[in-house]
């Protein structure tokens, strides 16, 4: 459950067909990003090129990637990993974004939740669906197949050592192949890692 001390100011900015939701946190004592944010003029040529792509797509550069840019080799790794996990593969993008906002909710990671909420809106789903996934996925208006994915995500996030054959068999029951189960596992793991990076380094919202 989110810390009730958080207060939010929602600012909706339309960028082409995409609505970017920026939420500025007004929690007393909340720290700014704890490590350096590398600005465009400071980056390598490859980083500058990626920043330009972000600016064209979102109108800004995500602060998490400005943090990654302090380690150029890792910047490329994280950019490529995101591309492979979320923009390619056999599992559809909507399912992956559902996993992302679900896991970010568990980890109380506001930053990742906001960004992935934007992406799930791009996939065409409504506020009611987003809210229901966050609050009570078992009664959300989603398929049993998606509920199985979120049950697996919940177990892998909270108590990974307790994942059993039953959770994996449930995914197989709904038609997921071994490769797709690997893909789902990698997405859940990626989201947990991203949340921990954001929370540990105090990555703040853009703007």
Give pLDDT tens digits for 107-160: 999 999 999 998 888 766 567 778 888 889 999 989 999 999 999 999 999 999
Q: What φ, ψ does residue 11 adopt, rounded to 5°?
A: -125, 115
Share of the chain above pLDDT 90, in %: 72
Helix, coil or strand: residue 18: strand
Domain assignment of residue 3, yes or no: no
> Domain containing 58: what range?
8-201
Domain assignment of residue 109, yes or no: yes
Domain assignment of residue 2, yes or no: no
**The Cα angle at residue 197 between residues 194 and 198, in degrees rounded to 5:** 85
Among 197, 194, 201, 196, which Cα is nearest to 35's? 201
Domain assignment of residue 32, yes or no: yes
Q: How many domains does the chain have?
A: 1
99: left (phi over 0), alpha (psi -120 to 50) or beta: alpha
Q: What φ, ψ does residue 171 adopt, rounded to 5°?
A: -65, -40
Residue 118 is predicted with a pLDDT of: 87
Domain assignment of residue 171, yes or no: yes
d(CA 52, CA 40): 9
Beta bridge partners of 14: 19
Domain assignment of residue 22, yes or no: yes
Residue 5 is predicted with a pLDDT of: 36
What count of other Cβ atoms lies within 10 Å of the Cβ of residue 115?
Answer: 24
Domain assignment of residue 157, yes or no: yes
Give pLDDT tens digits for 82-119: 999 999 999 999 999 999 999 999 999 999 999 999 88
The pTM of the full predicted model, rounded to 2 decimals, is: 0.85
Domain assignment of residue 73, yes or no: yes
How would residue 14 be classed by pLDDT, with cut points 50, 70 and 90? very low
Contact 129, 142 (CB under 8 A): yes
Q: What is the mean pLDDT of the chain?
A: 86
Mean pLDDT across the stretch 32-59?
96
Mean pLDDT across the stretch 61-90?
97
d(CA 50, CA 72): 12
Q: What is the CATH number of the domain that holds 142?
A: 1.20.1290.10
């Amino acid at each position: 459950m989110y810390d009730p001390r958080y207060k939010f100011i929602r600012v909706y900015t339309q960028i082409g067909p995409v609505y970017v939701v920026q939420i500025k946190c007004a929690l007393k004592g909340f720290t700014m990003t704890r490590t350096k944010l590398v600005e465009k003029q400071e980056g390598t040529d490859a980083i500058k090129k990626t920043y330009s792509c972000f600016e064209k797509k979102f109108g800004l550069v995500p602060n998490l990637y400005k943090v990654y840019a302090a380690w150029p080799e890792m910047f490329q790794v994280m950019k490529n990993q995101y591309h492979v996990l979320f923009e390619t593969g056999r599992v559809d993008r909507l399912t992956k974004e559902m996993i992302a906002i679900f896991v970010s909710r568990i980890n109380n990671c506001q930053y990742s939740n906001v960004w992935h909420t934007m992406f799930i809106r791009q996939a065409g789903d409504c506020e009611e669906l987003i809210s229901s996934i966050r609050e009570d996925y078992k009664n959300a208006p989603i398929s049993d197949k998606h509920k199985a994915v979120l049950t697996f995500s919940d177990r892998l996030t909270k108590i990974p050592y307790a994942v059993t054959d039953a959770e994996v068999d449930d995914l197989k029951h709904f038609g997921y192949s071994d490769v797709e189960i690997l893909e789902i596992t990698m997405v859940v793991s990626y989201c947990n890692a991203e949340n921990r990076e954001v929370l540990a380094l105090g990555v703040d919202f853009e703007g």
